[in-house]
Amino acid sequence: MSMTSAYGPAADRGEMIQLMRSAHDKGITFFDTAEAYGPFANEELVGEALEPIREQVVIATKFGFDIDPETGKRGPGTNSRPEHIKAAAVACLKRLRTDHIDLFYQHRVDPNVPIEEVAGAVRGLIAEGKVRHFGLSEAGIGTIRKAHAVQRVTALQSEYSLFWRGPEDDVLPVLEELGIGFVPFSPLGAGFLTGQIDENTKFDPTDFRNHVPRFSPEARKANTVLVHAVQAAAQRKGATPAQIALAWLLAQKPWIVPIPGTTKISRMEENLRAIDVQLREVDLQQMKNPPRSCHSRVTAYPRRCSR
């Protein structure tokens, strides 16, 4: 997402293509995009970057926002009507330069369309060979169960990190019960857990964090205690804070696959080395309930979670 939108101006296209191909060379095989990132620009970028290695990677993309297919202008709401899903899939395939989507997420729950109809539409796309797996994003446990009863849900993508631990309360147990994988976005707390952001940090005017309560200067200052806990663990392990944050997620469940985003090859390589960080039970206990302010429970993104 950060390659084309959200965290500031779009990055250099050639450099991003090189980054993705370098990531694959180093063993990364799972790439996440969405029609809404841009809109459309991110899928086009991913399609160009991965076309030469398409059969060696897994591509996830998302549908569900009301985006004009001609202008790319995004409307204010969601749109998961079955006919819209089918049209979106065809357009996604073209932009991604592929004949199938490995994992097709509903980007946000649409309150105007029963989830059973959404699951049925994706089931039809799977039968046609256009899609291989069905996913949900930011869905509550009731929605997950209803969708799963119609078409097996392969993965749920929602926010989860040391900075936001809401899924632990009810979502993770349901995913384990149903055999659904979990793909945490913002595993580094949108950059906060890296220790590179403090109350004096100035974001680009187009950066979404300017409008997130959790990233107000006051909240950032209050939450530095959490960053200090991560930094202390990093020092003990001879790792970076980002590697500790990712290792913590990997240690929670074997079916959790975090997706750290970056526009820098050096950061990609740093993130990848998190798999070599082994956290023992004592390490996890020390980070299980780090001191945190109430600001850390403020959601970072607009929610449309249906129970």
- What is the pLDDT, as a whole number, of residue 302? 40
Catalytic choice (7, 37, 105, 160)? 37
Q: Give yes or no for residue 20 having a pLDDT over 60.
A: yes
Burial annotation 144-171 (CB, 10 A radius, 16+ → b, else e)? bbbbbebbebbbbbbbbbbbbbebeeeb
How high is the mean pLDDT of the chain? 93
| Planar angle of CA 111, 117, 123, nearest 5 degrees | 135
Q: Give yes or no for residue 1 having a pLDDT over 60.
A: yes
- What is the pLDDT, as a whole number, of residue 252? 96
Instruction: Please report, in angstroms and rounded to a whole number, the separation of the first and last CA atoms in the chain.
Output: 27
From the CB of residue 85, how many other CB atoms can be counted at a distance below 10 Å?
Answer: 24
Residue with tokens 């959200």: 6
- What is the pLDDT, as a whole number, of residue 72? 92
- In percent, how much of the chain has pLDDT > 70? 93
- What is the pLDDT, as a whole number, of residue 67? 95
Q: Are 122 and 136 in contact (CB under 8 A)?
A: no
- How many residues comprise the chain? 307
- What is the pLDDT, as a whole number, of residue 304? 39
- What is the pLDDT, as a whole number, of residue 289? 65
pTM score, whole prediction: 0.92
Q: Give yes or no for residue 296 having a pLDDT over 50.
A: no
Q: What is the pLDDT of residues 179-231, one digit of tens each?
A: 999 999 999 999 999 999 999 999 999 999 999 999 999 999 999 999 999 99
- What is the pLDDT, as a whole number, of residue 286? 80
| Structure tokens belonging to residue 184 | 């945490």
Q: What is the pLDDT of residues 117-145, one digit of tens each?
A: 999 999 999 999 999 999 999 999 999 99
- In percent, how much of the chain has pLDDT > 90? 88
Q: Are 272 and 26 in contact (CB under 8 A)?
A: yes
Q: Which domains does the chain have, with CATH numbers?
A: 1-159 (3.20.20.100), 190-253+265-300 (no CATH)
- What is the pLDDT, as a whole number, of residue 291? 52
The yes-or-no answer on residue 160 being catalytic is no
Q: Give yes or no for residue 301 having a pLDDT over 60.
A: no
| Beta-carbon contacts of residue 199 (< 8 Å; ≥ 6 apart) | 217, 218, 220, 221, 224
Q: Give yes or no for residue 288 having a pLDDT over 80.
A: no
Average pLDDT over residues 252-279: 97
Q: Give yes or no for residue 300 having a pLDDT over 60.
A: no
| Beta-carbon contacts of residue 190 (< 8 Å; ≥ 6 apart) | 163, 209, 212, 215, 300
Average pLDDT over residues 257-266: 97
- What is the pLDDT, as a whole number, of residue 4? 95
| Structure tokens belonging to residue 283 | 């390490």
The span from the CA of 161 to the CA of 65, in Å, is 25
